[in-house]
Amino acid sequence: MIKHRTFIFVIASLLASVFMVSSAIAQRGIVPVSIKDKAGNQVGLYKGSYALLIGVSDYTNGWPDLPEVKKDLIAVGDALEQIGFQVYKSLNPKRNELEGAINGFISKHGYEKDSRLLIYFAGHGHTILPKYGGTEMGYIVPSDAPNPNLDEQGFLKVGLSMQNIEVYARNIQSKHALFVFDSCFSGSIFSLSRAIPQIIQEKTNKPVRQFITAGRANQTVPDSSIFRRQFIKALKGEGDYNKDFYVTASELGQYLEDTVTNYSKGSQTPQYGKLRDPTLDQGDFVFPISASVQMEVVKGKVQSEQDRIKQARVEEQNKQQQALDELNKVREEFAKELKLLKQDREKTKRLQEELLQSRKLQDELNQEIRLNQNNKTSSVSSQSSTSSPKGENVGRWAEISFARRLENSYLYKKSIKSRKYRIERFSDGTRAFIVETRGSWSKVKMEDGVVGWFYNAKFKWLN
């Protein structure tokens, strides 16, 4: 079936043709790229980095055009130049021009042992099952290839098969070559990979031929390429899964599979792998991350560490504030308890003073009673007509009530109801020590020590 988007074919060796346009880097010269381990020791070196970008946007024989391919090649070329690649481009090649571009590129740069070559193809891809059965074969589609739904035999003559691509991959003598296809077709020439090597020496020192496709045989790639956008993001550092400032082709493939599958909602599933050859599947193509990106990563780590420290300080300050709040709460509770204790002590002191005063008053009254008992004599004749009959000793504390009679509420000096003998007026509930009673008269001693008589008073005994 005809796909609606080209595939991008990235090959470690880039082919040059009459349609190739050298980049500014070619004019400046190629700068060797050293690969270092985490200790800073050089473990690999690319003496040259070359990329061939092939794009087909204008088809002439039944395939729909792909206007976005031109923009894709510009964007990918800029990204590769920024990390040290000399970039060549071939736009809208026919079959013979496509082969010429690839062969020319390999002839010019593919025999340099310590170079890395990348071939990137953006255009239509197609998969055909042979008439005799067997394994499906993927094709990249030159600008003059017929539509296989209308002329399959003509398409087979013009389309460039993965078998042809395998021949190109084997002809390259450079250590590392990577082929990237932004299209969907069957990738029968390579075995799928998943594991990402962990040691950079193993990646750089051994030869490898690697392949990445934008999707599977039964999938469609859109003209507005998700794959291209994620490819560039990976080279700028997002594909560095192990954070060693290098993006290997294995990491690149894994990143593209993860992100493109996600952003396409599963309609596009990139595949990646290595050539089915034990002598060409041991190494890994390596993209060092640019110094500016490394600086941003370092800045990000520093900022992250600063944020972590800041957050830790905030958390520590919060803990300190919480501890201080708890301490203040304990202090407040202690102050309240101390205040209550002080109040209790003052109350106890007052009660003790009242008790002492009461005991003193009791002692005085008891002494007076004893004196009265010892000094009893006959009533004087002048008082015999007005005095009360002989009384009864009491010696008890009581609350006094006066039966709501005004004259009864007065304390008298003598047991005679006369204004001139009045001492003071008291209200119901007054406390007094009852010394003795004589008829309606009661001799009392008040709490302040005053002694007098109440008339017709009522008592509520307290002891």
- The pLDDT score that the predictor gives to residue 21 is 31
For residue 286, being part of any structural domain is answered with yes
Q: Which of 275, 297, 319 is the last residue of a domain?
A: 297
Contact 271/257 with Cβ under 8 angstroms?
Answer: yes
User: For residue 412, what are the domain limits?
Assistant: 392-461
Q: Are 158 and 139 in contact (CB under 8 A)?
A: no
Asked if residue 8 lies in contact with residue 52, where contact means CB atoms within 8 angstroms, the answer is no
Q: Which helix (H) or strand (E) holds 246?
A: strand 246-248
Same domain, yes or no: 265 and 411:
no
Do 396 and 292 have their domain in common?
no
Residue 59 counted as domain residue: yes
Which of 167, 244, 265 lies closest to 199, judged by CA? 244
Q: What is the CATH number of the domain that holds 443?
A: 2.30.30.40
| Within-domain flag for 207 | yes
Alpha carbon of residue 26 to chain centroid: 46
pLDDT at 27: 33
CATH number of the structural domain spanning residue 187: 3.40.50.1460
Domains held by the chain: number: 2
In a domain, 284, yes or no: yes
Question: DSSP string spanning 130-154?
Answer: -TT-SS-EEEE--TTPPPTTT-HHH
Are residue 293 and residue 403 in the same domain, yes or no?
A: no
Q: What is the pLDDT of residue 197?
A: 47
Asked if the structure places residue 319 within a domain, the reply is: no
pLDDT of 387: 39
- Choose the final residue of a domain: 297, 317, 351: 297
- Let me know if residue 309 belongs to a domain: no
Strands 176-184 and 208-215: parallel
User: pLDDT tens across 384-400, in order?
Assistant: 333 334 568 888 999 99
Task: Let me know whether 399 and 285 are in one domain.
Answer: no
Q: What per-residue confidence (pLDDT) applies to 191? A: 54
What DSSP element (H or E) covers 272?
strand 271-275
Count Cβ atoms within 10 A of the Cβ of residue 185 and give its class: 0-12 exposed, 13-18 middle, 19 or more buried. buried
Q: Which residues of the chain have pLDDT under 50?
A: 1-4, 6-29, 194-197, 377-389
Angle CA 291–296–302, to nearest 5? 125
Count of CB atoms situated within 10 Å of the CB of 77: 21
* Rounded to 5°, angle at Cα 298 from 297 and 299: 90
Return the pLDDT at 410. Answer: 83
Residue 171: inside a domain: yes
> Considering the entire predicted model, what is its pTM?
0.60
The answer to whether residues 377 and 422 touch, using CB atoms and an 8 Å cutoff, is: no
Residue with tokens 């400046």: 28
Say if 356 falls within a structural domain: no
Among 297, 321, 336, where does a domain finish?
297
pLDDT in tens, 38-62: 666 665 678 899 999 999 999 999 9
